[in-house]
Structure 1
Amino acid sequence: MIRHGGSMDGTEIVAVVLSERWPFSVGEIIMFFNVFILGSAGFVFGWDRAMYSLIAYFVAYKTIDVVVDGLDESKGVWIVSNRAEELGVVILARLGRGVTYLEAKGGYSEEPKQMIYTVVTRLELPKLRTVVREIDPQAFVSVADIHETMGGYFRKRKIH
Protein backbone atom coordinates (compact mmCIF):
# COMPACT_ATOMS: atom_id res chain seq x y z
CA MET A 1 0.00 0.00 0.00
CA ILE A 2 2.74 2.47 0.94
CA ARG A 3 4.67 1.73 -2.26
CA HIS A 4 1.70 2.93 -4.32
CA GLY A 5 0.88 6.00 -2.20
CA GLY A 6 -1.57 4.46 0.28
CA SER A 7 -1.26 4.14 4.03
CA MET A 8 -2.55 2.12 6.95
CA ASP A 9 -2.52 4.72 9.72
CA GLY A 10 -1.76 8.37 10.49
CA THR A 11 1.96 8.01 11.07
CA GLU A 12 2.40 6.46 7.64
CA ILE A 13 0.62 9.39 5.97
CA VAL A 14 2.92 11.83 7.75
CA ALA A 15 5.97 9.66 6.95
CA VAL A 16 5.13 9.50 3.23
CA VAL A 17 4.73 13.30 3.06
CA LEU A 18 7.91 13.94 5.08
CA SER A 19 9.98 11.44 3.08
CA GLU A 20 9.41 13.58 -0.01
CA ARG A 21 10.94 16.59 1.75
CA TRP A 22 13.51 14.99 4.06
CA PRO A 23 16.42 12.70 3.20
CA PHE A 24 14.94 9.85 5.28
CA SER A 25 13.03 6.79 4.11
CA VAL A 26 9.39 6.15 5.04
CA GLY A 27 10.50 3.34 7.36
CA GLU A 28 13.03 5.55 9.16
CA ILE A 29 10.45 8.27 9.78
CA ILE A 30 7.89 5.75 11.07
CA MET A 31 10.59 4.27 13.32
CA PHE A 32 11.38 7.72 14.70
CA PHE A 33 7.72 8.32 15.57
CA ASN A 34 7.40 4.90 17.16
CA VAL A 35 10.58 5.33 19.22
CA PHE A 36 9.15 8.57 20.58
CA ILE A 37 5.72 7.03 21.28
CA LEU A 38 7.07 3.80 22.77
CA GLY A 39 9.72 5.68 24.74
CA SER A 40 6.92 7.67 26.36
CA ALA A 41 4.98 4.45 26.97
CA GLY A 42 8.07 3.00 28.67
CA PHE A 43 7.74 5.58 31.44
CA VAL A 44 4.08 4.68 31.99
CA PHE A 45 3.89 0.91 31.44
CA GLY A 46 7.46 -0.25 32.06
CA TRP A 47 10.56 -0.62 29.93
CA ASP A 48 10.32 -4.35 29.28
CA ARG A 49 7.05 -3.99 27.32
CA ALA A 50 8.33 -0.92 25.51
CA MET A 51 11.52 -2.72 24.45
CA TYR A 52 9.59 -5.65 22.94
CA SER A 53 7.48 -3.18 20.99
CA LEU A 54 10.58 -1.30 19.82
CA ILE A 55 12.12 -4.53 18.56
CA ALA A 56 8.91 -5.39 16.69
CA TYR A 57 8.79 -1.91 15.14
CA PHE A 58 12.46 -2.11 14.15
CA VAL A 59 11.72 -5.29 12.19
CA ALA A 60 8.66 -3.59 10.68
CA TYR A 61 10.72 -0.52 9.70
CA LYS A 62 13.24 -2.68 7.84
CA THR A 63 10.41 -4.57 6.14
CA ILE A 64 8.68 -1.34 5.12
CA ASP A 65 11.86 -0.06 3.46
CA VAL A 66 12.28 -3.33 1.53
CA VAL A 67 8.64 -3.19 0.40
CA VAL A 68 8.74 0.50 -0.55
CA ASP A 69 12.12 0.30 -2.31
CA GLY A 70 11.37 -3.12 -3.75
CA LEU A 71 13.44 -6.26 -3.96
CA ASP A 72 14.83 -5.33 -7.37
CA GLU A 73 17.40 -3.02 -5.88
CA SER A 74 19.56 -1.58 -8.64
CA LYS A 75 23.32 -1.25 -8.70
CA GLY A 76 25.31 1.26 -10.74
CA VAL A 77 28.56 -0.30 -11.94
CA TRP A 78 31.65 1.50 -13.27
CA ILE A 79 34.21 -0.69 -14.99
CA VAL A 80 37.62 0.61 -16.06
CA SER A 81 39.16 -1.83 -18.51
CA ASN A 82 41.57 -2.05 -21.40
CA ARG A 83 39.00 -4.34 -23.04
CA ALA A 84 35.93 -2.13 -22.53
CA GLU A 85 34.43 -2.64 -26.00
CA GLU A 86 34.59 -6.43 -25.68
CA LEU A 87 33.15 -6.27 -22.14
CA GLY A 88 30.28 -4.06 -23.30
CA VAL A 89 29.31 -6.47 -26.07
CA VAL A 90 29.34 -9.43 -23.67
CA ILE A 91 27.33 -7.54 -21.01
CA LEU A 92 24.70 -6.72 -23.60
CA ALA A 93 24.66 -10.30 -24.94
CA ARG A 94 24.67 -12.23 -21.64
CA LEU A 95 22.83 -9.88 -19.28
CA GLY A 96 20.71 -7.94 -21.74
CA ARG A 97 21.82 -4.66 -20.16
CA GLY A 98 22.90 -1.57 -22.02
CA VAL A 99 26.25 0.07 -21.38
CA THR A 100 27.61 3.58 -21.72
CA TYR A 101 31.24 4.09 -22.71
CA LEU A 102 33.08 7.00 -21.12
CA GLU A 103 36.53 8.33 -21.93
CA ALA A 104 38.78 8.51 -18.87
CA LYS A 105 42.40 9.20 -18.01
CA GLY A 106 44.45 7.37 -15.40
CA GLY A 107 45.35 9.70 -12.54
CA TYR A 108 48.66 7.98 -11.84
CA SER A 109 49.61 6.71 -15.29
CA GLU A 110 47.97 9.57 -17.20
CA GLU A 111 47.14 6.99 -19.87
CA PRO A 112 43.82 7.24 -21.70
CA LYS A 113 41.32 4.66 -20.49
CA GLN A 114 37.83 3.63 -21.41
CA MET A 115 35.21 3.23 -18.73
CA ILE A 116 31.87 1.42 -18.88
CA TYR A 117 28.82 2.43 -16.88
CA THR A 118 25.85 0.09 -16.55
CA VAL A 119 22.95 -0.46 -14.18
CA VAL A 120 21.99 -3.99 -13.12
CA THR A 121 19.75 -5.52 -10.48
CA ARG A 122 21.17 -6.87 -7.25
CA LEU A 123 20.55 -10.40 -8.49
CA GLU A 124 22.45 -9.79 -11.76
CA LEU A 125 25.56 -8.45 -10.04
CA PRO A 126 27.26 -11.85 -9.49
CA LYS A 127 26.80 -12.71 -13.17
CA LEU A 128 28.31 -9.34 -14.13
CA ARG A 129 31.31 -10.01 -11.88
CA THR A 130 31.80 -13.39 -13.57
CA VAL A 131 31.70 -11.77 -17.01
CA VAL A 132 34.27 -9.14 -16.00
CA ARG A 133 36.61 -11.78 -14.52
CA GLU A 134 36.38 -13.87 -17.69
CA ILE A 135 37.06 -11.01 -20.12
CA ASP A 136 39.46 -8.79 -18.12
CA PRO A 137 40.61 -10.01 -14.70
CA GLN A 138 42.64 -6.78 -14.33
CA ALA A 139 39.58 -4.51 -14.70
CA PHE A 140 38.74 -2.06 -11.91
CA VAL A 141 35.08 -2.38 -10.86
CA SER A 142 33.15 -0.02 -8.60
CA VAL A 143 29.57 -0.74 -7.48
CA ALA A 144 27.08 1.69 -5.91
CA ASP A 145 23.46 1.44 -4.77
CA ILE A 146 20.97 3.11 -7.08
CA HIS A 147 17.73 4.19 -5.44
CA GLU A 148 15.90 5.29 -8.54
CA THR A 149 16.27 5.14 -12.31
CA MET A 150 14.33 7.20 -14.82
CA GLY A 151 14.28 7.29 -18.60
CA GLY A 152 16.61 5.48 -20.89
CA TYR A 153 16.21 1.78 -21.44
CA PHE A 154 16.75 0.31 -17.99
CA ARG A 155 14.30 -2.51 -18.61
CA LYS A 156 16.07 -5.68 -19.50
CA ARG A 157 16.40 -6.25 -23.25
CA LYS A 158 15.35 -9.60 -24.61
CA ILE A 159 18.33 -11.66 -25.68
CA HIS A 160 17.86 -13.34 -29.08
Structure 2
Amino acid sequence: MPKGIEVNKLKKTQSKKRLAQRTIMVIIGACITAIALSLFLVPNNILDGGIVGVSIIISHLTHLPLGVFIFLLNIPFIFLGYKQIGKTFALSTALGITTLSVATLLLEHVKPVTQDLLLSTVFGGIILGIGVGLVIRSGGSLDGTEVLAILFNKKLPFSVGEIIMFFNLIIFTVAGFVFTWEQAMYSGLAYFIAYKMIDITIQGLDESKAVYIISDEYDEIGQAIIDRLGRGVTYLNGEGAYTGDTKKVIFTVITRLEESKLTTIVSELDEHAFLAIGNIAEVRGGRFKKKDIH
Protein backbone atom coordinates (compact mmCIF):
# COMPACT_ATOMS: atom_id res chain seq x y z
CA MET A 1 0.00 0.00 0.00
CA PRO A 2 1.44 3.44 -0.96
CA LYS A 3 2.70 5.53 1.95
CA GLY A 4 0.35 8.43 1.13
CA ILE A 5 -2.72 6.19 1.42
CA GLU A 6 -1.50 4.84 4.77
CA VAL A 7 -1.05 8.38 6.09
CA ASN A 8 -4.54 9.37 4.94
CA LYS A 9 -6.07 6.30 6.60
CA LEU A 10 -4.22 7.11 9.83
CA LYS A 11 -5.47 10.71 9.75
CA LYS A 12 -9.06 9.54 9.20
CA THR A 13 -8.78 7.08 12.08
CA GLN A 14 -7.40 9.77 14.39
CA SER A 15 -10.11 12.20 13.26
CA LYS A 16 -12.85 9.65 14.02
CA LYS A 17 -11.29 8.95 17.40
CA ARG A 18 -11.22 12.67 18.29
CA LEU A 19 -14.82 13.04 17.14
CA ALA A 20 -15.92 10.08 19.28
CA GLN A 21 -14.07 11.47 22.32
CA ARG A 22 -15.59 14.92 21.81
CA THR A 23 -19.08 13.46 21.43
CA ILE A 24 -18.77 11.39 24.61
CA MET A 25 -17.46 14.36 26.61
CA VAL A 26 -20.28 16.62 25.40
CA ILE A 27 -22.85 14.00 26.49
CA ILE A 28 -21.17 13.50 29.87
CA GLY A 29 -20.89 17.27 30.44
CA ALA A 30 -24.57 17.80 29.57
CA CYS A 31 -25.64 15.01 31.93
CA ILE A 32 -23.55 16.47 34.77
CA THR A 33 -25.17 19.86 34.12
CA ALA A 34 -28.62 18.27 34.26
CA ILE A 35 -27.75 16.73 37.65
CA ALA A 36 -26.70 20.13 39.00
CA LEU A 37 -29.91 21.76 37.78
CA SER A 38 -32.39 19.01 38.71
CA LEU A 39 -30.95 17.78 42.01
CA PHE A 40 -29.52 20.99 43.48
CA LEU A 41 -30.52 24.31 41.93
CA VAL A 42 -34.01 24.17 40.39
CA PRO A 43 -35.79 22.43 43.33
CA ASN A 44 -34.55 25.26 45.55
CA ASN A 45 -35.50 27.99 43.04
CA ILE A 46 -31.85 28.86 42.39
CA LEU A 47 -31.10 29.97 38.84
CA ASP A 48 -28.28 29.58 36.41
CA GLY A 49 -27.51 32.51 34.13
CA GLY A 50 -28.28 32.87 30.44
CA ILE A 51 -30.96 31.04 28.47
CA VAL A 52 -31.10 28.27 31.06
CA GLY A 53 -31.98 30.87 33.69
CA VAL A 54 -34.77 32.23 31.47
CA SER A 55 -35.99 28.65 30.97
CA ILE A 56 -36.12 28.07 34.73
CA ILE A 57 -38.23 31.21 35.26
CA ILE A 58 -40.67 30.34 32.44
CA SER A 59 -40.93 26.73 33.64
CA HIS A 60 -41.74 27.96 37.16
CA LEU A 61 -44.44 30.34 35.90
CA THR A 62 -46.07 27.88 33.46
CA HIS A 63 -45.51 24.67 35.46
CA LEU A 64 -44.27 22.99 32.29
CA PRO A 65 -41.12 20.82 32.11
CA LEU A 66 -37.82 22.70 32.21
CA GLY A 67 -36.21 20.49 29.57
CA VAL A 68 -38.75 21.59 26.97
CA PHE A 69 -37.88 25.28 27.36
CA ILE A 70 -34.12 24.65 27.43
CA PHE A 71 -34.45 22.93 24.06
CA LEU A 72 -36.90 25.34 22.41
CA LEU A 73 -35.27 28.60 23.54
CA ASN A 74 -31.82 27.45 22.41
CA ILE A 75 -32.83 26.40 18.88
CA PRO A 76 -32.33 29.90 17.37
CA PHE A 77 -28.88 30.13 18.96
CA ILE A 78 -27.77 26.83 17.42
CA PHE A 79 -28.49 28.38 14.02
CA LEU A 80 -26.70 31.62 15.01
CA GLY A 81 -23.77 29.57 16.29
CA TYR A 82 -23.51 27.86 12.93
CA LYS A 83 -23.40 31.26 11.20
CA GLN A 84 -21.07 32.97 13.67
CA ILE A 85 -18.70 30.21 14.81
CA GLY A 86 -19.02 27.19 12.53
CA LYS A 87 -20.53 23.81 11.79
CA THR A 88 -18.59 21.82 14.40
CA PHE A 89 -19.62 24.21 17.16
CA ALA A 90 -23.28 24.11 16.06
CA LEU A 91 -23.40 20.29 15.95
CA SER A 92 -21.67 19.94 19.34
CA THR A 93 -24.02 22.54 20.81
CA ALA A 94 -27.09 20.82 19.35
CA LEU A 95 -25.96 17.50 20.84
CA GLY A 96 -25.24 19.09 24.23
CA ILE A 97 -28.54 20.99 24.44
CA THR A 98 -30.55 17.95 23.32
CA THR A 99 -28.82 15.76 25.91
CA LEU A 100 -29.31 18.39 28.62
CA SER A 101 -33.02 18.72 27.77
CA VAL A 102 -33.64 14.96 27.79
CA ALA A 103 -31.62 14.39 30.99
CA THR A 104 -33.48 17.24 32.72
CA LEU A 105 -36.81 15.70 31.74
CA LEU A 106 -35.72 12.29 33.08
CA LEU A 107 -34.54 13.78 36.39
CA GLU A 108 -37.55 16.07 36.83
CA HIS A 109 -39.26 13.97 39.52
CA VAL A 110 -36.11 12.76 41.29
CA LYS A 111 -35.84 13.93 44.89
CA PRO A 112 -33.26 16.74 45.37
CA VAL A 113 -30.05 15.93 47.23
CA THR A 114 -30.54 18.75 49.75
CA GLN A 115 -32.96 21.58 50.49
CA ASP A 116 -30.37 23.68 52.27
CA LEU A 117 -29.97 26.82 50.16
CA LEU A 118 -26.27 27.32 50.86
CA LEU A 119 -25.33 23.69 50.19
CA SER A 120 -27.44 23.67 47.04
CA THR A 121 -25.80 26.88 45.85
CA VAL A 122 -22.22 25.76 46.46
CA PHE A 123 -22.42 22.17 45.26
CA GLY A 124 -24.87 22.98 42.50
CA GLY A 125 -22.54 25.71 41.23
CA ILE A 126 -19.49 23.43 41.37
CA ILE A 127 -21.20 20.55 39.54
CA LEU A 128 -22.76 22.93 37.03
CA GLY A 129 -19.38 24.50 36.27
CA ILE A 130 -17.76 21.11 35.73
CA GLY A 131 -20.52 20.01 33.34
CA VAL A 132 -20.55 23.22 31.30
CA GLY A 133 -16.74 23.32 31.29
CA LEU A 134 -16.53 19.81 29.81
CA VAL A 135 -18.90 20.77 27.00
CA ILE A 136 -17.02 24.00 26.21
CA ARG A 137 -13.70 22.14 26.32
CA SER A 138 -15.14 19.71 23.76
CA GLY A 139 -16.07 22.52 21.37
CA GLY A 140 -19.75 23.06 22.19
CA SER A 141 -22.03 25.09 24.41
CA LEU A 142 -25.14 24.58 26.53
CA ASP A 143 -26.40 28.13 26.40
CA GLY A 144 -27.02 30.62 23.60
CA THR A 145 -26.12 33.72 25.61
CA GLU A 146 -22.51 33.88 24.43
CA VAL A 147 -23.55 33.47 20.79
CA LEU A 148 -26.05 36.31 21.26
CA ALA A 149 -23.37 38.43 22.95
CA ILE A 150 -20.98 37.85 20.03
CA LEU A 151 -23.70 39.03 17.65
CA PHE A 152 -24.51 42.14 19.73
CA ASN A 153 -20.82 42.89 20.18
CA LYS A 154 -20.60 43.79 16.49
CA LYS A 155 -23.32 46.43 16.85
CA LEU A 156 -22.83 47.73 20.41
CA PRO A 157 -19.83 49.45 22.05
CA PHE A 158 -19.56 46.72 24.72
CA SER A 159 -17.41 43.61 25.08
CA VAL A 160 -18.86 40.09 24.97
CA GLY A 161 -18.25 39.73 28.73
CA GLU A 162 -20.04 43.00 29.51
CA ILE A 163 -23.07 42.01 27.41
CA ILE A 164 -23.31 38.62 29.15
CA MET A 165 -23.01 40.28 32.57
CA PHE A 166 -25.75 42.77 31.70
CA PHE A 167 -28.03 40.00 30.41
CA ASN A 168 -27.53 37.92 33.56
CA LEU A 169 -28.12 40.97 35.78
CA ILE A 170 -31.55 41.33 34.17
CA ILE A 171 -32.28 37.61 34.71
CA PHE A 172 -31.32 37.68 38.39
CA THR A 173 -33.36 40.87 38.90
CA VAL A 174 -36.41 39.18 37.39
CA ALA A 175 -35.71 36.17 39.62
CA GLY A 176 -35.94 38.47 42.63
CA PHE A 177 -39.53 39.34 41.69
CA VAL A 178 -40.56 35.82 40.61
CA PHE A 179 -38.98 34.00 43.57
CA THR A 180 -37.41 35.98 46.44
CA TRP A 181 -34.50 38.41 46.58
CA GLU A 182 -32.66 35.95 48.82
CA GLN A 183 -32.89 33.26 46.15
CA ALA A 184 -31.83 35.78 43.52
CA MET A 185 -28.69 36.47 45.54
CA TYR A 186 -28.04 32.76 45.95
CA SER A 187 -28.47 32.45 42.18
CA GLY A 188 -25.79 35.08 41.63
CA LEU A 189 -23.46 33.21 43.99
CA ALA A 190 -24.13 29.89 42.22
CA TYR A 191 -23.40 31.53 38.87
CA PHE A 192 -20.11 32.95 40.19
CA ILE A 193 -19.02 29.54 41.54
CA ALA A 194 -19.99 27.87 38.26
CA TYR A 195 -18.08 30.51 36.28
CA LYS A 196 -14.89 29.81 38.26
CA MET A 197 -15.33 26.04 37.95
CA ILE A 198 -15.74 26.39 34.17
CA ASP A 199 -12.30 28.07 34.03
CA ILE A 200 -10.74 25.32 36.15
CA THR A 201 -12.36 22.58 34.07
CA ILE A 202 -11.25 24.11 30.77
CA GLN A 203 -7.71 25.01 31.86
CA GLY A 204 -7.15 22.16 34.30
CA LEU A 205 -5.79 22.29 37.82
CA ASP A 206 -2.26 21.81 36.52
CA GLU A 207 -2.28 25.21 34.84
CA SER A 208 0.67 25.91 32.56
CA LYS A 209 2.54 29.20 32.31
CA ALA A 210 4.47 30.72 29.44
CA VAL A 211 7.72 32.41 30.47
CA TYR A 212 9.78 35.01 28.61
CA ILE A 213 13.18 36.04 29.98
CA ILE A 214 15.53 38.69 28.56
CA SER A 215 19.03 38.67 30.03
CA ASP A 216 22.66 38.94 29.02
CA GLU A 217 23.15 35.74 31.02
CA TYR A 218 20.73 33.85 28.80
CA ASP A 219 23.01 30.85 28.31
CA GLU A 220 23.49 30.24 32.05
CA ILE A 221 19.80 30.83 32.83
CA GLY A 222 18.68 28.55 30.01
CA GLN A 223 20.98 25.75 31.12
CA ALA A 224 19.86 26.15 34.74
CA ILE A 225 16.21 25.83 33.71
CA ILE A 226 17.07 22.61 31.86
CA ASP A 227 19.15 21.19 34.74
CA ARG A 228 17.17 22.36 37.77
CA LEU A 229 13.60 22.38 36.42
CA GLY A 230 13.85 19.71 33.75
CA ARG A 231 12.15 22.00 31.23
CA GLY A 232 13.24 22.63 27.67
CA VAL A 233 14.00 26.18 26.56
CA THR A 234 13.96 27.98 23.23
CA TYR A 235 16.15 30.97 22.39
CA LEU A 236 14.40 33.65 20.36
CA ASN A 237 16.11 36.54 18.59
CA GLY A 238 14.90 39.97 19.73
CA GLU A 239 15.81 43.59 19.20
CA GLY A 240 15.28 46.51 21.56
CA ALA A 241 12.99 49.07 19.93
CA TYR A 242 14.58 51.98 21.83
CA THR A 243 18.26 50.98 21.82
CA GLY A 244 18.34 48.82 18.70
CA ASP A 245 20.46 46.26 20.58
CA THR A 246 20.01 42.60 19.65
CA LYS A 247 18.86 40.41 22.52
CA LYS A 248 18.36 36.72 23.17
CA VAL A 249 14.93 35.93 24.60
CA ILE A 250 14.47 32.71 26.57
CA PHE A 251 11.09 31.05 26.14
CA THR A 252 9.89 28.11 28.23
CA VAL A 253 6.67 26.62 29.60
CA ILE A 254 6.31 25.58 33.24
CA THR A 255 3.57 24.62 35.69
CA ARG A 256 2.41 27.00 38.41
CA LEU A 257 4.16 24.84 41.03
CA GLU A 258 7.48 25.53 39.32
CA GLU A 259 7.02 29.31 39.11
CA SER A 260 8.67 30.11 42.44
CA LYS A 261 11.72 27.97 41.67
CA LEU A 262 12.10 29.54 38.23
CA THR A 263 12.01 33.10 39.60
CA THR A 264 14.65 32.07 42.15
CA ILE A 265 16.88 30.68 39.40
CA VAL A 266 16.58 33.87 37.34
CA SER A 267 17.23 36.22 40.27
CA GLU A 268 20.27 34.18 41.36
CA LEU A 269 21.91 34.41 37.92
CA ASP A 270 20.76 37.91 36.92
CA GLU A 271 18.77 40.02 39.36
CA HIS A 272 18.19 42.64 36.64
CA ALA A 273 16.76 40.20 34.09
CA PHE A 274 13.41 40.99 32.48
CA LEU A 275 10.91 38.25 33.38
CA ALA A 276 7.32 37.91 32.10
CA ILE A 277 5.04 35.03 33.13
CA GLY A 278 1.54 34.48 31.74
CA ASN A 279 -1.15 31.80 32.02
CA ILE A 280 -1.86 29.54 29.07
CA ALA A 281 -4.87 27.25 28.78
CA GLU A 282 -3.35 24.34 26.90
CA VAL A 283 0.00 22.93 25.78
CA ARG A 284 0.36 20.30 23.07
CA GLY A 285 3.21 18.68 21.20
CA GLY A 286 6.82 19.78 21.24
CA ARG A 287 8.96 18.81 24.23
CA PHE A 288 6.86 20.02 27.12
CA LYS A 289 7.28 16.69 28.91
CA LYS A 290 9.35 17.18 32.06
CA LYS A 291 12.85 15.73 32.10
CA ASP A 292 14.80 14.44 35.09
CA ILE A 293 16.43 17.25 37.07
CA HIS A 294 19.98 17.33 38.38
Q: What TM-score comes out, normalization by structure 1 length?
A: 0.79
Partner SS, residue 132 of structure 1: helix
Q: For residue 104 of structure 1, what is the aligned residue in structure 2?
A: 238
The secondary structure found in structure 1 opposite 2:285 is coil
8 Å CA contact 2:202–2:281 kept in 1: the answer is no
Whole-angstrom distance in 2 between the partners of 1:34 and 1:63 = 18
Q: Distance in 1 between matches of 2:249 and 2:292?
A: 24
> Match for residue 258 of structure 2?
124
> How far apart are the structure 1 equivalents of 2:170 and 2:228?
50
Counterpart check, 1:142 vs 2:166: no
Q: Measure, in 1, the Cα distance between the counterparts of 2:171 and 2:240.
A: 53
Q: Which SS does the other structure have where 1:18 is aligned?
A: coil
**Amino acid in the other structure paired with 2:226:** L
Name the CA distance, whole Å, in 1 between partners of 2:168 and 2:241: 48
Counterpart of 2:285, as a letter, is G
CA deviations on 1:100-143 (whole Å, 9 max, x unpaired) are 00111222221221110001111111111000000111111111
Q: Answer 1 or 2: higher relative contact order, Cα 8 Å, separation at least 6.
A: 1
Inter-partner Cα distance in structure 1 for 2:266 and 2:217: 10
1:44 aligns with 2:162: no
Partner residue, 2:74: none
| Mapped partners of 1:63, 1:9: distance in 2 | 12
Q: Give the AA of the match of 1:140.
A: F
For residues 1-160 of structure 1, the aligned pairs below 5 Å read: 4-5=25-26, 6-7=28-29, 8-9=32-33, 13-14=96-97, 15=132, 16=136, 17-18=140-141, 38-160=172-294
The structure that has the greater radius of gyration is 2
User: Could you tell me whether the CA contact under 8 Å between 2:230 and 2:290 is conserved in 1?
Assistant: yes
Give, as a single letter, the amino acid of the residue that structure 1 aligns with 2:257: L
Aligned residues: 151
- Matched residues in 2 for 1:9 and 1:18: separation? 11
The Cα of 1:147 is off from its aligned counterpart by: 1.1
Q: Give the 3-state SS of the residue equivalent to 1:92 in structure 2.
A: helix
- Aligned-pair CA distance for 1:63: 2.4
Secondary structure of the equivalent of 2:211? strand
Q: Report the Cα distance in structure 1 between the residues aligned to 2:207 and 2:245, rounded to whole angstroms.
A: 34
RMSD: 3.0
Shift of 1:45: 1.3
Give unpaired runs (5+ residues) of structure 1: none
* SS, match of residue 9 in structure 1: helix
TM-score (norm 2): 0.45
Q: Whose helix proportion is higher, 1 or 2?
A: 2
Q: Identity, % of aligned pairs?
A: 45
SS at match of 2:266: helix
Question: Is the contact between residue 34 and residue 57 of structure 1 (CA under 8 Å) also seen in structure 2?
Answer: no
Distance across 2 between alignment mates of 1:110 and 1:34: 49
- Counterpart-to-counterpart distance in 1, 2:203 and 2:169: 22
Cα drift, residue 34 of structure 1? 7.2
- Equivalent residue of 2:242, what SS? coil
